[in-house]
């Protein structure tokens, strides 16, 4: 996701030179604006954005050198390339000392100029992208944003705080939507590298052939389409952290290169021979069963051991007990604020419904459920009808056989299931017993009997359908 590139500003008092520079840049896909003097350039720079300035050293009026020195104070982030007719090493040194990024003497080869421009374009994109990622990662800084008071979540937060202080490689394993990306962000933001870049790459989202060049960069001409040299994301991440998401989807040849990189921080760009080295902390995550992937020969065991220095495992939401409710409250507050609603709480029956669901999509699913509920709810509390019919989704996953939790007998498991099922059907029918019984294909009497046996009580015992639609089911 690279930011659009603003134009190059060309400053030259010779019309032909301006036109030929504009054409040369235009042919390479750069936009160029041209002005005749340094004065005009400064006026334009105050109003518009440019990614670099190309200036002749000798201009009528203010010289290129003066323009350069004004720019160093007024626009220090914009690189300036100086062009002059007088090629003396002394002048070159002077220009560079004054802060020019490079110095070209006329006549020059178009490639020389284009190479310098392309480096500046690359630098601009990297700076922008870094700024974008930094602003994003600063939104997910705090470890307290990882909500949950269940013992495993408390332990996870403590572990994050401890490992953040080290440079150890971190492997984050967990089901989809369980918070792996949040955990990675928290580790980086608590580490000493927090001010340095935090680069995230989703290995599954980038085509296999491009992932290597994305990670390690490429040299110009190394493959069709490699028109310019490209720095790797590992170079961008120098001094900081790189997070490889969905690492389980990385191809085996690239796994070998990553292993070498992990061993000593060394790598070569695609098509390059030079051995480069950076100082990067690596974190990786996957929702695949990594041991399974090793057994299937899809993931290198040696790489797994290299990555697995510290393992962080956000547990599935269904194993976090009442954290479901803490998270639901958190998302309720969040969506209330963004949607300008005043829903104050979640009804007891809705809470029961949330607690009895298996959450295959984990926290992400819960977040979506709350978002939908806040949109649908018309009263001042979240009630079961605003929640999805979870049992429908359970049927969709009927190939997944439920596992009997340890310590429970099959009778207990069946009773829990029956209770969940009846509660959901009641909610669906707005606690009208006749309609619920009809849907369950049992008599109203049989339904009452089962509800008593399963300890399900509704407030509106004489259920003629509550016109307000406000039901509070209580489970003793």
Ligand X SMILES: Nc1ncnc2c1ncn2[C@@H]1O[C@H](COP(=O)(O)OP(=O)(O)OP(=O)(O)O)[C@@H](O)[C@H]1O
Binding site for ligand X (CB under 6 A): 146-148, 174, 176-182, 287, 327, 363-364, 367
Contacted entry of Mg ion, ligand X, none for residue 130, CB cut-off 5 to 8 Å set by kind: none
Q: How far is the CB of 367 from Mg ion (least distance, A)?
A: 13
Alpha carbon distance 349, 469 (integer Å): 13
The answer for residues whose C-beta is within 8 angstroms of residue 421's C-beta and 6 or more apart is 391
The answer for residues whose C-beta is within 8 angstroms of residue 388's C-beta and 6 or more apart is 369, 372
Q: Find tokens 């990622």 and name the residue.
A: 133
Q: How far is the CB of 33 from Mg ion (least distance, A)?
A: 42
**Binding to Mg ion (CB under 5 A): which residues in 152-181?**
181
Contacted entry of ligand X, Mg ion, none for residue 326, CB cut-off 5 to 8 Å set by kind: none
Q: Tell me, residue by residue from 110 to 149, as one string, x for binding to Mg ion by CB under 5 A and - for no binding.
A: ----------------------------------------
Taking CB atoms, the residue at the shortest distance from ligand X is 179
How far is the CA of 426 from the CAs of 58, 396, 436, in angstroms? 85, 20, 6
How far is the CA of 376 from the CAs of 205, 253, 328, 341, 372, in angstroms? 33, 49, 15, 11, 6
Which sign, positive or negative, has the C-alpha torsion 299, 301, 303, 304? Answer: positive
Q: How far is the CB of 1 from Mg ion (least distance, A)?
A: 16
Q: Which is nearer to Mg ion, 113 or 284 (CB)?
A: 284
Q: How far is the CB of 312 from Mg ion (least distance, A)?
A: 13
Q: How far is the CB of 331 from ligand X (least distance, A)?
A: 8
Q: Please tell me whether residue 287 binds Mg ion under the rule CB under 5 A.
A: no
Grouping H, G, I as helix, E, B as strand and the rest as coil, residue 102 is strand
SS3 sequence of 165-204:
CCCCCEEEECCCCCCHHHHHHHHHHHCCCCCCCEEEEECC
Q: How far is the CB of 202 from ligand X (least distance, A)?
A: 8
Candidates 56, 57, 55, 33; CA nearest to 44 is 33
Q: How far is the CB of 340 from ligand X (least distance, A)?
A: 20
Say if residues 30 and 74 touch (Cβ distance below 8 Å). no
CB atoms closer than 10 angstroms to residue 223:
12
Alpha carbon distance 72, 376 (integer Å): 56
CB atoms closer than 10 angstroms to residue 191:
21
Q: How far is the CB of 181 from ligand X (least distance, A)?
A: 3
CA atoms within 13 A on the CB side of 253: 7
Q: Which is nearer to Mg ion, 169 or 428 (CB)?
A: 169
Residues binding Mg ion (CB under 5 A)? 181
């Amino acid at each position: 996701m690279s930011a659009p590139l603003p134009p190059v500003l060309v400053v030259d008092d010779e019309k032909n030179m301006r036109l030929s520079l504009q054409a040369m840049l235009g042919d390479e896909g750069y936009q160029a604006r041209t002005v005749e003097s340094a004065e005009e350039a400064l006026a334009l720079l105050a109003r518009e954005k440019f990614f670099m300035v190309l200036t002749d050293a000798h201009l009528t009026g203010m010289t290129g050198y003066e323009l350069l020195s004004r720019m160093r104070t007024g626009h220090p982030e914009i690189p300036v390339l100086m062009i002059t007719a007088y090629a003396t090493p002394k002048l070159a040194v002077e220009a560079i000392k004054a802060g020019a990024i490079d110095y070209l003497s006329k006549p020059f080869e178009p490639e020389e100029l284009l190479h310098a421009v392309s480096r500046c374009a690359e630098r601009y994109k990297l700076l922008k992208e870094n700024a974008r990622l930094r602003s994003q990662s600063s939104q997910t800084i705090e470890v307290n944003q990882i909500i949950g008071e269940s013992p495993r979540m408390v332990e996870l937060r403590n572990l994050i705080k401890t490992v953040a202080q080290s440079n150890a490689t971190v492997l984050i394993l967990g089901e989809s939507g369980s918070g792996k990306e949040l955990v990675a962000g928290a580790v980086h933001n608590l580490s000493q590298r927090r001010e340095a870049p935090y680069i995230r790459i989703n290995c599954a989202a980038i085509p296999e052939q491009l992932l290597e060049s994305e990670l390690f960069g490429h040299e110009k001409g190394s493959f069709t389409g490699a028109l310019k040299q490209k720095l790797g994301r590992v170079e961008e991440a120098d001094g900081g952290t790189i997070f490889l998401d969905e690492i389980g989807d990385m191809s085996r040849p690239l796994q070998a290169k990553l292993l070498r990189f992990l061993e000593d921080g060394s790598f070569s760009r695609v098509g390059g021979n030079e051995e480069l080295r950076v100082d990067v902390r690596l974190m990786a995550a996957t929702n695949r069963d990594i041991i399974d992937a090793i057994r299937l020969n899809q993931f290198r065991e040696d790489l797994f051991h290299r990555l697995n220095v510290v393992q962080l495992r956000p547990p599935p939401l269904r194993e976090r007990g009442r954290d479901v409710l803490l998270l639901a409250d958190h998302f309720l507050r969040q969506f209330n604020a963004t949607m300008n609603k005043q829903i104050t709480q979640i009804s007891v029956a809705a809470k029961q419904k949330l607690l009895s669901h298996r959450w295959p999509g984990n926290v992400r699913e819960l977040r979506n459920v709350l978002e939908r509920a806040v949109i649908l709810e018309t009263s001042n509390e979240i009630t079961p009808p605003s929640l999805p019919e979870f049992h429908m989704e359970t049927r969709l996953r009927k190939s997944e056989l439920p596992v009997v939790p340890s310590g429970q007998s099959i009778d207990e498991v069946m009773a829990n299931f029956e209770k969940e099922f009846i509660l959901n059907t009641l909610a669906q029918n707005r606690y009208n017993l006749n309609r619920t019984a009809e849907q369950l294909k049992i008599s109203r009497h049989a339904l009452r009997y089962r509800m008593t046996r399963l300890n399900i009580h509704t407030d509106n015992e004489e259920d003629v359908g509550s016109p307000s639609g406000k039901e509070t089911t209580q489970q003793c």
